[in-house]
Each structure stands twice: as C-alpha cells, then as structure tokens.
Chain A
Amino acid sequence: NAGVMQNPRHLVRRRGQEARLRCSPMKGHSHVYWYRQLPEEGLKFMVYLQKENIIDESGMPKERFSAEFPKEGPSILRIQQVVRGDSAAYFCASSPLTSGVAYEQYFGPGTRLTVT
C-alpha cells in the first residue's frame, strides 16, 4: 500500500505565476489535510477536505489560495499569482477517519515551493 504521494517534490515559480501542488492520499483514505511549513517553523494547518467537500478552511489565506479534492484524482492546492512569501514546504496528510487524530494522519513527503 503506497503512502501519501505528493508531487512535484520541488517547484520553482516566478512571481505572478500559478502553483499547483498535488496530493494523492493513501488508498481508501477519503480525508485530506494541507499544511504549510515555513523555515524553522512548525506545520500550520491550512485546509481539511473530504471528497468533493471542504470541511474546514480556517487556515487558508483569504486570497489566491484554493483547494479541492474531487471525486476522482488527487487533491490539488492551487496558489495563484505567487509571491515570495509563499515560498515554503507544503505537506498533505490523509486519514481514513472522520476524527483524523494526529497519529492517524499519514503525511506525504512535502512539496518545496520556491518563488523567485
């Protein structure tokens, strides 16, 4: 059973471009969480999705950021018109359970976004 997969692992974008980060949850998992990590900081929660539903987006910036988890295919975190401050590591985690307690969230390896 493959783990959570994220791609790309590294993404370089120029200011103003769009960044699309993909997350394929573990097989059988229908809950996905996205987190952002700035250098020397902990994970910051962004959004929690079930298939075709956003459950909690309280950590998402109000503008330029969006997330989806379609019925088929990976979850996508989309950042429009990227700025240098968006440079960070973005992690997704998947869970089989509604409660999604931390130890039952399986994390992907992350995507490091660099905005030049």
Chain B
Amino acid sequence: SQQGEEDPQALSIQEGENATMNCSYKTSINNLQWYRQNSGRGLVHLILIRSNEREKHSGRLRVTLDTSKKSSSLLITASRAADTASYFCATGDYGQNFVFGPGTRLSVLP
C-alpha cells in the first residue's frame, strides 16, 4: 500500500484567502491524486498529477509535485465557504490498495 500524509491537520481561513495543504509519501509513484470529502460522503476526485509532471491546474486548484522530496501541495485560490471539507492525497492504483492519510480539515469562514 502507498500512503499519503497530509499537513496541516486542520486549517481555518477567511473567504477569499488562499489555502495550501501538503502531502508527503514514502515510495515511488506513477501518479498522485487529491480528493475532497464532505462529512459522511464519498470521496470526490479533484485532480491527478503524473510523476513526470511538476504542476497542474484545474480551475481554482493548483497542484505541485516534487518527486525528489516525495511531496505534493494543493493550493485552493480565492476560497469559498463551499470549499469547507477534508482534503486527502493518495497514490493507490489498481493492484495496490488505496490508503489515505488523516487529511487536512479545511474550514473557510464567511
């Protein structure tokens, strides 16, 4: 299994500010994925970045990947109250069990 470990565990910001959360992992990867989860719901896939990519954008999301440091960051720009959720990274794939770290709990205050 390949586990991601997110940092910080909790983050509280004002609406309109940017939120940055980090993920570290242990083994070599083909890709890394970020997910969002609202309480009691399934995981929602946000973005996938391949091991040969350094940066990827999707709307207000920006993901970076540093394979030399085995770390990734997720930046949410111009945050909204609706962004309040837990965010997780994962590196699993078919044949490798997905294991998620504790996640970052993001609270966006109006």
Contacts and interface: CB of A to CB of B under 8 A. Distances in A.
Interface in B41-81: 41-48, 50
B41 to A, nearest CB: 6
Interface in A35-73: 35, 37, 40-48, 56, 59
B11 to A, nearest CB: 16
* Interface size class, chain B: 20 to 34
Interface in B16-41: 31, 33-35, 37, 39-41
A108 B34 CA distance: 19
B33 A43 contact: yes
B43 A37 contact: no
A112 interface: yes
Interface residues of A, number: 30
Contacts of A35: 42-43
A107 B34 CA distance: 16
Nearest to B98: A107
A87 B8 CA distance: 37
A21 interface: no
Contacts of A112: 94
Nearest to A93: B98
Contacts, number: 78
A6 to B, nearest CB: 11
Interface stretch (A11-19, A22-30, A75-83, A96-104): A96-104
A43 B45 contact: yes
A100 B40 contact: yes
Contacts of B90: 42-43, 102
Contacts of A46: 42
A40 B48 contact: yes
B42 A45 contact: yes
Interface of B: 31, 33-35, 37, 39-48, 50, 86, 88, 90, 92-95, 97-103
